Amino acid sequence: MSHLLRRCSASPAVGRRIVPWLLVAAFVIAGGLSLDAPSPAHALARLAQCTNNLDDDLDGKIDFRQEPGCNSANDANEADPVPLPACSDRADNDLDGKTDFPTDPGCPAAGNNNEGDPASLPACSDGVDNTDADGKIDYPADPGCNWAADNSEADRACSDDLDNDADGKADFPSDFGCDNVNDMNESDPPQCNDGRDNDGDGTLDADTNIATQSPDSDCLSAVDAVEAPALALCADGVDNDADGKTDYPADPGCLSAADDDETDTQVFFVLPSSVQAPLQTPLLTPFPIVRLRGRTDRGRVRITLLTVRAPEASQVSIYCTGRSCPRKRLAIRAGKKVVRVRQFERRLRGGTVLKIYVTKPGFVGKYTRFRFMSKRVPLRADRCANTPGTQPRDCPAS
């Protein structure tokens, strides 16, 4: 089951871009997993306290199984009960020589109130090198055993000391992709559906499910990876138009740092009639401008904005080739100055090619091609064309 479904059983799928803002350092002590007390200030009340990867009651224990105040992952409050449950009270209640979670085979969680061992001992307490056959037996000798009551000796992604998703954080609770130490998948949920205020603006996610909270306006849907507003292309540190110059003021296509298009201004010089015969077909005026904004995302390119500034009554024709194309052809009649092409605002794989024509009978129109490559800025080419789908040509006298 995906991390999205595990975290948000009641949420409709709506969101955008992933980059967790909070690093939580985990370490193991004799009594189980503990944590240098983090501040839950930016974890607004969407995730249950017993599954939000935070030490909400600041007792050094985090979430269900490690936290004495949690009877299940869905518990809303981590506060420890008084008296403490049998699996956290530092007493050997069943007189088996083992005390509390995680060392007592009868304690599947710190909040359990009965230490009595089951009739059939779990895999991590039965004295057998079970299915992983790694030469190590039971808790704590076997690294696949996260507690004595654990029923599997197999290693898990969220407790194997490895950064499996290469996000700079390893295992529960440091990695926000881990629901618990037995989680087999470290992949982070999208920031727009992770139950956290990642950009610290007091709102979170595409849908908070809480009446007193507002969704984050920077999230277009629940699969958006980043809650923060996107930087303008002229301030994002990327050579978006592949001209060897980056951002304002270095790139001549940037009028300011807030400019969202690095494309160099296209200037067409029409030579005098003594040098060149007069143009038989005039250019579209004003000449169209095609803008593409996006970012690389897990080997693909995520388009977040595709617009065409086109003269009224011209036609915008888009041809797409490649496995990730949402459609092969799209034609839009320009009824206003700027046409937004939302159908192509999505993830596109390397090898995808978009060809965009802006044409009008009796005029020389615009042709723009974007060739998408894995983990790289798309290659852009601008030329002229008279009709959709035809071979582009050099623009007049440039």
What confidence tens digit (pLDDT) does each residue in 130-160 have?
A: 877 788 899 999 888 989 999 988 888 888 8
Residues 6 or more apart in contact with residue 190 via CB below 8 angstroms: 4, 15, 16, 17, 18, 222, 223, 224, 225
Residues 6 or more apart in contact with residue 198 via CB below 8 angstroms: 19, 20, 21, 42, 191, 204, 226, 227, 228
Percentage of the chain exceeding pLDDT 70: 83
- Tell whether the model's pLDDT for residue 12 goes beyond 80: no
pLDDT at residue number 265: 60
The identity of residue 373, as a single letter, is M
Between 278 and 382, where is the model more confident? Answer: 382
What confidence tens digit (pLDDT) does each residue in 202-217 have?
A: 788 887 767 777 788 7
Q: Where are the domains of the chain?
A: 266-385
Most confident of 7-16, 179-188, 260-269, 341-350: 341-350
The mean predicted confidence, pLDDT, of the chain is: 79
Topology classification of domain 266-385: Immunoglobulin-like (2.60.40)
The identity of residue 285, as a single letter, is T
For range 288-311, the mean pLDDT = 84
**Tokens standing for 86?**
């049998």
The identity of residue 202, as a single letter, is G
pLDDT at residue number 95: 95
- Tell whether the model's pLDDT for residue 17 goes beyond 70: no
- Residue written as tokens 């269900």? 64
pLDDT at residue number 143: 84
pLDDT at residue number 294: 82
